[in-house]
Amino acid sequence: MNVPEGAVVQINLVNGDGATHDITVPDFATKSNQLNAKGSSTAIVFKANKKGEFQYICSLPGHVQAGMIGKIVVGGEAAKTESKAADVSRSPLEVGTPVGARGPQKLTVNLETTEVTGQLMDGSTYKYWTFNNKVPGPFIRVRVGDTVTVNMANAKDSHMIHSVDFHAVTGPGGGAAVTQAAPGSTKSFTFKALNPGLYVYHCATPMVAQHISNGMYGMILVEPEGGLPKVDREFYVMQGELYTAQKHGTPGENEFSLEKLLAEQPEHMMFNGTHDALTKTHRMEAKVGETVRVFFGVGGPNATSSFHVIGEVFDRVYSQGDLTSPPLKNVQTTTVAPGGATMVEFKVEAPGRFILVDHALSRMEKGLVGFLYVNGADQPDVFQAHTRPDADSGH
């Protein structure tokens, strides 16, 4: 295990054989309770406040000699696994151009469905199905009253039929009924944007849940007449799930599991397609005093999100993507259904690293986390620290 100096470390222990075990890190004076039953679990938490190499062991007599010993490196560089897999994560900065005060227009949207082996997490890959090679698909931005032509091409090297269903479309299947495209073919339709709001789109080819889980979802914003009020920063974030035959963290190519999909037991949950999308790959930043807007949606296909930003309060929440009703105010956590969306706005009034989560917090351990970095001078009238923050707190 490699951890940065000053990090707060949690080690989870699961009893796999039914014998009595524990875990202890002598150099950090931490020790778990003993486990006796097969499948039982516990955890230890400590602060890695000194650099070096340290051991963790089972303290039961004879267990170290039997091999129950490991190493923690504090302040060292973790070995990096090289991968030739594509980066399929969508940048949260790709939000398109606001429509402003313009009138209705005729627009064209071009989508290509592709099947791409992408980097899921360090050392792990997955065969994603995508719109335009990224997860989520492109953020589409139109105005109420616009007439929109959608051209959907399925790549020649695809193995599956794909389609697209826009929740913003009034028509058969949201467009899916006329876009079932075989590999190498293109299907098209035209619709009028009748209802303002923030809407999800996704593939709707059977088995629909499999196509969505594999990455085939995105959002379309239908701005109201006159456009949205101006803000300083806008971000595009979507939550999704992957159901793999291999357990979370298994290196190499991970494969789809129909059994886990039907049981609604995802091994991976992510923002913008991959574990690292909003923590390492793409950087969301704002400055103290700026107003941030997040277009947030849930591709799913199954889990409802309890969207929350740790250390912030949403000044305005446009619940269920409704952009014309008065927003909710001063909201801590907002519920977003699979296939649903919301728009939140908040002024960032103190510097630091603010963490995007689903407040069903066990999902952080499956990869569901993102960072918003707020830069600027300390604001002691808003927040004043009386102790030094932990290394992983983001300040």
Confirm whether residue 21 is marked as ligand binding. no
Boundary of a domain, candidates 74, 96, 127: 74
What pLDDT was estimated at residue 1?
82
Q: Say if residue 136 is preceded by a cis peptide, omega within 30 of 0.
A: yes
Domain that holds residue 364: 233-375
180 and 288 co-located in one domain: no
Say yes or no to pLDDT of 391 above 60. Answer: no
What pLDDT was estimated at residue 370?
98
The answer to whether position 165 is within a domain reads: yes
Share of the chain above pLDDT 70, in %: 96
Predicted confidence (pLDDT) per residue in 10-43, tens digit: 898 889 888 999 999 999 999 999 999 988 888 8
244 and 355 co-located in one domain: yes
Say yes or no to pLDDT of 334 above 90. Answer: yes
Segment 331-341 mean pLDDT: 98
Which tokens go with 197?
A: 């709001």
Segment 274-285 mean pLDDT: 97
Q: Which residue matches tokens 């793999």?
A: 244
Say yes or no to pLDDT of 98 above 80. Answer: yes
What pLDDT was estimated at residue 78?
46
What pLDDT was estimated at residue 389?
67
241 and 370 co-located in one domain: yes
The answer to whether position 117 is within a domain reads: yes
Are the beta carbons of 295 and 236 closer than 8 angstroms? yes
209 and 237 co-located in one domain: no
Whole-number Å distance between alpha carbons of 307 and 313: 11
The answer to whether position 383 is within a domain reads: no
Share of the chain above pLDDT 90, in %: 83
Predicted confidence (pLDDT) per residue in 132-156, tens digit: 999 999 999 999 999 999 999 999 9
The answer to whether position 87 is within a domain reads: no
CATH assignment of the domain containing 349: 2.60.40.420
What pLDDT was estimated at residue 115?
98
254 and 179 co-located in one domain: no
Say yes or no to pLDDT of 86 above 60. Answer: yes
The answer to whether position 338 is within a domain reads: yes
120 and 24 co-located in one domain: no
The answer to whether position 91 is within a domain reads: no
CA-nearest of 289, 284, 305, 295 to 354 is: 284
| Count of structural domains, the chain | 3
Predicted confidence (pLDDT) per residue in 223-268, tens digit: 999 999 999 999 999 999 999 999 998 999 999 999 999 999 999 9
Confirm whether residue 282 is marked as ligand binding. no
196 and 250 co-located in one domain: no
Predicted confidence (pLDDT) per residue in 42-80, tens digit: 889 888 999 999 999 999 888 877 778 888 999 875 444
Query: What is the 3-class SS of the chain, one letter each residue?
Result: CEECCCCEEEEEEECCCCCCECCEEHHHCEECCCECCCCCEEEEEEECCCCEEEEEECCCCCCCCCCCEEEEEECCCCCCCCCCCECCECCCCCCCCCCCCCCCCEEEEEEEEEEEEEEEECCEEEEEEEECCEECCCCEEEECCCEEEEEEEECCCCCCCECCEECCCCCHHHHHHHCCECCCCEEEEEEECCCCEEEEEECCCCCHHHHHHCCCEEEEEEECCCCCCCCCEEEEEEEEEECECCCCCCCEEECECHHHHHCCCCCEEEECCECCHHHHHCCEEEECCCEEEEEEEEEECCCCEEEEEECCCEEEEEHHHCCCCCCEEEECEEEECCCCEEEEEEECCCCEEEEEEECCHHHHHHCCCEEEEEECCCCCCCCCCCCCCCCCCCC
What pLDDT was estimated at residue 392?
53
49 and 140 co-located in one domain: no
What pLDDT was estimated at residue 5?
86
Say yes or no to pLDDT of 373 above 60. Answer: yes
Predicted confidence (pLDDT) per residue in 105-120, tens digit: 999 999 999 999 999 9
What pLDDT was estimated at residue 395?
40
Confirm whether residue 202 is marked as ligand binding. yes
The answer to whether position 92 is within a domain reads: no
Segment 113-134 mean pLDDT: 97
Average pLDDT, the chain: 94
Predicted confidence (pLDDT) per residue in 356-369, tens digit: 999 999 999 999 99
